[in-house]
Structures are given as C-alpha cells and as structure tokens.
Amino acid sequence: MPSLPPELWKAVLQELAYMPGTLQKGYDPFSIEDHLDYDEPTAEMQAWKQDKRNAILVCKTWRRLALPMLYEILHIDSEAHARGIREALETAPVYEEDGFLGRGDFVRQIYISVRWSPLQVADEVASQDSILTGEHVARIVERCPHLSIFTYRMFPIPSILRPTFDAILGSRAASSLLKLDMAYHQTFWPTILWDLASEALGHLPRLETLVLTSAINNVGESAMLRMPAHIIHAPHLKTLVLPWSVYQLMLAHSSQLDMPELQAIHIMGVHIMSASNTTSGTLVHHSSMEANEMNRKIASIGVSNPDLWAPDDFSDCFAFLAHFPNLRSAHLLVADITLVPDPPLEHPSLTCIAIVQNHDIFMEQWNVSQRIVSSVDAGIEIILAGRFPKLRKVQVVGYYTETHKKDTERVAGWDQKLGERGIALEFCRAFQ
C-alpha cells in the first residue's frame, strides 16, 4: 500500500463512499436527488454499498478510515436487520486516534423503510415484528449520540414510531438532530406524524428541517389535528414540508410558533375548492401579521385537486396562489384539461410550474397515450399564453416520464416552444 498521509486516504475513501446528496440537510420536496433510493435500489446504490464493505478489508489503514463511513448511514428494512444492527452497536468499541469509540458514535443517519402494508401491520405476526423493530430501533438511537438525520419512509406504525421518538428525546440524539424526515407518500396522510413532530419540536434545539410529507396527498375527513397547548419553540428550524391541513392549523395558531430562522415552507396536498373558493377563504379568515409573514415564506405548493381542469378551476387555483407573493414552484396534478382558461393565468414570482401525471390504472384500459400527451400539450400552451415574468422552468413529473421521453419529436417541439421564451423543459420522477 503506497505511503500517503491519512487525510489523503480519507479523501479518496470519501469519493468512494458517498453518493450525491448523502447526508444533506436541505430538502426539495419535488425531487429525489437527496434521497437514498433504498426502496428500489439501483445498480449504482448496490455498488456503492458494496464498495464501503470492501474498503474495510483492504488493510488496517483503510479499515480504520472506512469503518466510520460504513456506520454513518444505517438502513433498517426488517426486524432481523434492526436486530443485527443493534447487536453490532452493542459489541466492543473500536479504536480511533482519540481513543475507543462505540460504533454508534459514527452514525449520522438512520433510515427506516420496512415493507409492510397496512393489512400486514394488522396481522399478528407482523404486529409482533413491529413491536420488536421498535424496541431495536430505540436501543439503536440511544447508542447514536451524533445522529443528524432521522428518516422514516413506510406506513406509520405507532409501535415503531413512539419508542423511537422516546429514545430520541431521552438521549443525546435530541441535541444533535438536524433533520427529521417522515415523508409518507400514500393517498391519505396520517395525523400521528404531526402529533409526534409537534410534541418533539421544542426538544430538538438544533433541528433545521422538518418533513412530514413528500407527495400530493390528503388528510382523511375524519382526521383531527390538534395544536399543542404550549408555544412551539424551534430556534434553528429553516425548512418545513407540510400537508395543507397542517399548514392551516399552524396559520390558525401562528402566535404559538416561535421559529425565528424559518426561511422556506413547502405545502403539499392542496384541494382547490371551486365556486366559493373556500381554500382562499381559509387564508383570508386567518389573516394576521404572523399569518401573512408565514404566507410570504411559502416556496412551493402541490395541488392535488382538481385533476380534471376546467377554466374555472384554473382561475380558482391561481387566485389561491396569488396569496403567496414569494412562491417559486407550483406543482399541479393533471389528468386532463377540458378547456383553455380565459383570461390568461398569471403569477409574479413563479420560477417553475410542474405538470404532475400520476399512474391512472383505469385510463390505461383506454387510449392513455393520447390523453397524457394532450394534457402536456394543453398545459404548455396555457403556460406560454400566461404572464409569468420569472418563469424559467416547466417540469413534466410523474409516472409517465419515460413514456414522454420516447416521443422524441414531440418533446423536441415542446422544448423549442419553451426555449424561445427562455424556459427550460425538464422531465423528472416524483414520489407516488
């Protein structure tokens, strides 16, 4: 092995061990670049994980430098895996220049994504597994004093979440956590995520990012959201990613929020109500100096309803978006567009408009190709006819991205039309 200073070998291993976005604290709710794609591991992800394992086998120098990297991110996808990680962290400490350290001292992120469906959770065997997983994760957290990011990506199971939160708040992890990411992306958003987060916020003094959803989804009509009786003090919180229902609750109790460094709020799952436009009415009802200040921090909005767009729907939607003077990104769920709106749409600050197309199993029994293409065709024409002085990007997002890319001639036409106005066209995945 060539004789190089340890810091140079460490730099080499960091290039080997880290994928783009690893251990980032920031969050863009409409991209996947800062997510570890464990749920559907790519060849790149699998190779990255194997490289880290191989590095510790090269020599003593590499083992000493690579071992901390091996433990920096813990992925838990089963009860057995959680048990194995717990046992590994409970083994004898390893030697570092500063002395002996437990393996948990190296951990910076815990990522939980056990593949259980709601029906499996109700099953007695799976339920017992979830209880054991919760116990393992709690013990793991207690041994990770430098935990920076906690990520939970699965059906919300109280027997896993509650022991984990108790362990975070009762250990040194509470004072080191920078990002709490519980981006649950199913059709209906469960209130337990808000219940846990709202109680924990005041006890996480360094928290910078809170993510409670990553999709355009909804809270069930029977769900009851409650605001804690105490002031929520989050001195370093900079980014919030919330369902619309949670944002409404926070607006109604804005005087209870002490978040002096809050910079950006991303809202998902907005239902635009036609006729009386009660969505905008909610904002008017909660108008105050504190509420208006929050509205100015809205950076992006995801609209989940309507998905069949008529002219009145466009008018109601952009009347709603006008309440957010610094809005940069709007994602609109689009299944079909019936008619072009008149007058043209406008917004002074939007830099990105996304056309989101989710998987439509029913429509695939018919001529889905024509419909998904015509929706983008109409959407781009409406955008070009509108008044968006700061618009720089149009995204086509969702399940049919690859279908669009295959139609190179049509894509070239869209790209040319937008490019003539200085607007870029981008295709990207979205969480479903």
**pLDDT tens-place string over residues 207-219:** 999 998 866 555 5
DSSP codes joined into one string, 192-228 = HHHHHHHHHGGG-TT--EEEEESSS-EE-TT------
CA dist 48 and 38 (Å) reads 12
* pLDDT tens digits along 143-158: 999 999 999 988 888 9
**DSSP three-state, residue 56:** coil
CA 403 to chain centre: 25
Quote the pLDDT of residue 2: 56
User: Any idea of the CA torsion for 155, 159, 163, 166, to the nearest 10 degrees?
Assistant: 70
Give the model's pLDDT for residue 103. Answer: 79
Rounded-to-integer distance, Cα 394 and Cα 28, Å = 16
Mean pLDDT per block of 10 residues along the chain (432 residues) reads 63 60 57 44 62 69 68 86 91 58 83 68 66 95 94 88 96 95 73 91 94 67 74 94 89 91 91 60 68 92 85 91 94 86 93 86 58 87 96 90 86 94 86 40
Per DSSP, helices labelled H in 296-336 are 311-321
By residue count, the chain amounts to 432
Residue 35's pLDDT is what?
A: 41
Which two tokens mark 190? 């469960």
With residues binned 3-state (H G I as helix, E B as strand, rest as coil), the percentages for the chain, rounded to 5, are 40, 20, 40
Cβ atoms 130, 159 nearer than 8 A: yes
Strand partners, 425: 394
Q: What is the pLDDT of residue 431?
A: 44
Domain chopping of the chain, boundaries: 1-20+27-177
Query: What local confidence, expressed as pLDDT, does residue 290 receive?
Result: 78
**Which of these, 335, 320, 384, 352, lies nearest to 29 by C-alpha position?**
352
CB 153 within 8 A of CB 112: yes
CA atoms within 13 A on the CB side of 85: 31
Beta bridge partners of 424: 393
pLDDT computed for residue 366 by the predictor: 54
DSSP state of 175: G
